[in-house]
Structure 1
């Protein structure tokens, strides 16, 4: 029998009450039990008249002799139970592992553990983990991580949705203004649809398109960084069951925002560099002679580089919460993420992909109707929303409104899943649940029977 905390051997805890009922150390109790069948004639179970002689009953090893024994070292057979009692003088419902006249364990395993083992008074299953906040303090399943992210948004909705809505509105407002005033020049992009356009015109159009897309991505990236920094603090406090205001979250996250910006810019550069290195051999072969072979080699190298880039991105996917919560540098945060993901790459990959799919579905469900409405209104040219240019103000404003709603709902899920996945990996590897329990004010966590810190 495993003797680790949470397990108790049968009969390891006494079943007697404080008055010592059922004990036979003085011999008086044995007389009382022997008299019970005399008072219960015709009421209890009918015992056979042919019983084995007392000499054939041997006392259990190590048990004291009884006052009614018929020979040295021997005891008479145990008397039948009195009406309304079980073996050992226990009333019905007190368990079938009572004590016999020879002490605990006679004719069985003694009394069941009182208050020990799993469950209350039985073996009903492992003890429930402490849950001071949105997640239980133990290794988490996929559903618990997703539920924890949603529970954080639902429980602390004022702070979470306030942060997400503010960041989404500011970000989308800048994007709409940039697209409406600077990046929506139909004359520039018309060259891409003109078959008679000169190479210079095509290059200018592509350059303008890339610049516009890059500016929008940078603005969106900045908004995502700020939202992630603030929501990381909120989610980490939600694990402890404590709330935090937007101002408190900003004061806690502000020293790390620039580092988070550097980390967020560094990771895409690593991906681009890896993919580029994979295509370099094919490019060289194409330049030096064999164009067809070079193109094929570049495609194969690009695919191989893309696979390596995905592996690296998942390996460093927990660097953001490590940087924010542990106040690490960029290099140390990437090292921490690599250590936590090691041996669990596929699990982290699956959870991150699942969260990405869920957020994209939610965002699409919200954005698609706004896009159709924006296209219909922009095409009709209704009043002041009459468009000028390819997209037009109507399309930009209405589709931007859909993007704001979608980002408000998806920012907390993305940040919450990453933070809870980071906490889950630290619980599995470093028993972080002990520190979280102490921070939450749980007394004696990890020392009670049944507690298994870290897993």
Structure 2
């Protein structure tokens, strides 16, 4: 499926697409289950937390205080944050599940749903724990620098508190992006190296540390490709809901709007379909990035060649015996 040498960006993308094409049943079933779970949660979040009446009241207020702004935006901000968290959980889960498919494909082993499930089942609890821990840790990284400013603003120093909170939020976002990239290969490490959650996160730090910018660039490119494809898939569903009179086109682009449950369900169906088609590509790229980093740092290509019984990769003793 991939050449047994360090991979360039095109080969990582080609490998992810090849996995989806050759083993589409297994990959899409796994992505569908994850997409169904995450989009169902997203639909509930959108329906229960987002309320446009608060924003309308804020727009009618000519001189809103910081408390008024926080009250008006609290529901939308909380919903947006939860939507980001559930999306990240879905990506981590799919990356861990697809790693098993890709590892089997590289070694030429069966990739049926049953065979993959046998490998995944003993590690599933740890994978779910990792998928929950990483987004929560990143949210804490963002929230901690912004908390002092928010407390000052609520205590009465609105101008100074808002400025300090904005600066803290910006710092937190930058640090969280840095840390997210360092932890991005934790799911493949957890699944393939049979490590615990903490050990897998440390393993990811080690693999990414000296190649931070390269790993980030590849991931951003894959996210851009998956995002464009997802948008193309979801827009028709928003148009269908819009034609029904729900005015939902904005719900594709943001977590705002006073949408009905009909709109939310239609858009969620589009989200499940887009997740089923795009998650295997983005998650597959993460898995292949893990393989690539280990090839570059630890000569994993030799181990893979021997495991797959590729000619020329035999152990020295076996090679000497074959020559005799």
- Calculate the TM-score normalised by the size of structure 2: 0.79
Separation in 2 of the partners of 1:217 and 1:342?
25
* SS in structure 2 of the partner of residue 320 of structure 1: helix
Separation in 2 of the partners of 1:222 and 1:337?
17
Separation in 1 of the partners of 2:175 and 2:279?
27
How far 1:318 moved relative to its partner? 0.8
Rg bigger for which structure?
1
Aligned residue number for residue 328 of structure 1: 195
Is this contact kept in 2: 1:184–1:390, CA < 8 A?
Answer: no
Give the count of matched residue pairs: 303
Aligned residue number for residue 135 of structure 1: 2
Separation in 2 of the partners of 1:163 and 1:306?
31
Aligned residue number for residue 409 of structure 1: 277
RCO higher in 1 or 2 (8 Å CA, sep ≥ 6)? 2
* SS in structure 1 of the partner of residue 108 of structure 2: coil
Separation in 1 of the partners of 2:57 and 2:77?
18
How far 1:262 moved relative to its partner? 2.1
Tell me whether 1:441 sits opposite 2:309 in the alignment: yes
How far 1:290 moved relative to its partner? 6.0
Aligned residue number for residue 290 of structure 2: 422
Change (3 A) 1:324 1:361: same
Is this contact kept in 1: 2:85–2:136, CA < 8 A?
Answer: no
How far 1:179 moved relative to its partner? 6.7
* SS in structure 2 of the partner of residue 139 of structure 1: coil
Separation in 1 of the partners of 2:145 and 2:45?
34
Change (3 A) 1:246 1:221: farther
Separation in 1 of the partners of 2:19 and 2:147?
46
Aligned residue number for residue 12 of structure 2: 145
Deviation digits for residues 103-159 of structure 1 (CA, Å, limit 9, x no counterpart) = xxxxxxxxxxxxxxxxxxxxxxxxxxxxxxx10000000110011000110111222
Is this contact kept in 2: 1:320–1:333, CA < 8 A?
Answer: yes
- Calculate the TM-score normalised by the size of structure 1: 0.58
Separation in 1 of the partners of 2:72 and 2:110?
50
Gaps of 5+ in 2: 248-256, 317-324
Deviation digits for residues 20-52 of structure 1 (CA, Å, limit 9, x no counterpart) = xxxxxxxxxxxxxxxxxxxxxxxxxxxxxxxxx
Separation in 1 of the partners of 2:239 and 2:7?
40
Separation in 2 of the partners of 1:201 and 1:284?
15
Separation in 1 of the partners of 2:146 and 2:226?
32
Separation in 2 of the partners of 1:273 and 1:378?
40
**Structure 1 range deviating more: 393-402 or 422-431:** 393-402
How far 1:429 moved relative to its partner? 0.6
Aligned residue number for residue 248 of structure 1: 115
Aligned residue number for residue 48 of structure 2: 183
Separation in 2 of the partners of 1:289 and 1:171?
39
What pairs with 1:36-435 in structure 2 (closer than 5 Å)? 134-169=1-36, 171-172=38-39, 176=43, 178=44, 183=48, 190-194=53-57, 224=91, 226-280=93-147, 282-283=149-150, 291-379=158-246, 390-435=258-303
Gaps of 5+ in 1: 1-133, 381-388, 449-455
The structure richer in helix per residue is 2
Change (3 A) 1:300 1:430: same
Deviation digits for residues 286-313 of structure 1 (CA, Å, limit 9, x no counterpart) = 6788654443333233322222221111
How far 1:371 moved relative to its partner? 0.8
Change (3 A) 1:345 1:163: same
* SS in structure 1 of the partner of residue 172 of structure 2: helix
Separation in 1 of the partners of 2:195 and 2:174?
28
Is this contact kept in 2: 1:184–1:391, CA < 8 A?
Answer: no
Separation in 2 of the partners of 1:184 and 1:294?
26
Is this contact kept in 2: 1:276–1:305, CA < 8 A?
Answer: yes
How far 1:347 moved relative to its partner? 0.4
